[in-house]
Amino acid sequence: MSEPHELGWHRMGGTPREIGRALGLAGREAVHRHLPGSEYFRAMTGPAHAEAVARMAEATRARFPAIWDEIEGLAEGLQMPVETVFAWNCRGDLLARVPDGCTTIMVPGEAPVPAHNEDGLPFFRGACFIAEVAAPDAPAFRAFCYPGSIPGHTFAFNAAGLAQTVNNLRLTGVEPDIPRMVLGRAVIGSQSLDQALAVLEAGAGSGGFHFALSSTADRRILSVEFGAGEVSAVEVETPSAHANHALHHRGGLSAQIVTESSRDRQARADALLAEGLDPLAILRDEGGGGLPIRRDAADDPDDENTLGTAILRLTSDGIRWSIHDRRTGPAAYSGTGF
């Protein structure tokens, strides 16, 4: 018999509140088992950040009312106060050094490939899932989801042919106006690459993220670093890597935290790309002289492990995708389009 998948798969749809409630139900057990004892969770939901959280909640309700409804539904499904759930979804805006790492490989061409390791809190291994979401007023999408979090800040792709992968940027000195995860959720509802970029350019007063964005209709790959009120978008013209620190965001280059793991993964991925390795081999690599790209160590210095890997190939026929939940072996899930 084959081993069970480490990544679940949940289908959901309906109103934003109903989608949020389904997301909450899917993650409720893991959230209540792990988050109350987490120092990160206690820090995000404590009184020190209450004023900033209230400010971002007001901005989210005004600018993205449907996403706010989804967050309220998420809180209902989790059986937790919405203020607490929203604060947790602001974690990267409130604290530069949170456990969100990740590595992205970007290969441009006729069939561009954004590929991605999703690295997060090790205690969520086995509890994360792919959400297949049918929304009433936006393209259906599939996204990697952490328990207790809205979609759109990991890897995702939608029925309009848009693909996104997301890396943490540890920008310092940010006074956030809106959560970066809310912006990510809005992006995956976009119909095109230009519309996705416009979402970010309309207001990036948030914590820092890097998005690799591409679409079947456009087939550029854009490397987009945003946060602290700035958006830097660069078209990727040669195979490139991004290991969760700013490479072209002007503010980030002068005010960011670059961890040892982030620096080592960038150097190793760049070297493997120069050797011509394919994206999956790079993302599964455990070699090199420093900390590895594929992360499974219980004592990882950033408190992160690789919880999922996505290979997204954008063709004229749709997105050919595979999602891997183990360090070796075949994909857990794969397909073309929707």
User: To which residue do tokens 């993650």 refer?
Assistant: 27
Residue 1 has pLDDT above 80, yes or no: no
Residue 201 pLDDT level (bands cut at 50, 70, 90): very high
Residue 130 has pLDDT above 80, yes or no: yes
* Predicted local distance difference test score (pLDDT) of residue 2: 52
Mean pLDDT, range 223-228, rounded to an integer: 97
Mean pLDDT, range 104-133, rounded to an integer: 97
Total count of residues recorded for the chain: 338
Query: Strand, coil or helix: what is 244?
Result: coil
Check: CB of residue 233 under 8 Å from CB of residue 106: no
Residue 269 has pLDDT above 60, yes or no: yes
Q: In the predicted model, what is the mean pLDDT of the chain?
A: 96
Check: CB of residue 219 under 8 Å from CB of residue 314: yes
CA 185 to CA 80: how far, in whole Å? 21
> Which percentage of the chain shows pLDDT scores above 90?
93
User: To which residue do tokens 């007063």 refer?
Assistant: 205
Mean pLDDT, range 160-182, rounded to an integer: 97
Strand ordering across the sheet containing 162-169: 8-13, 129-134, 141-145, 155-158, 162-169, 208-215, 221-227, 230-235
| CA 322, 30, 80, 93 torsion-angle sign | negative
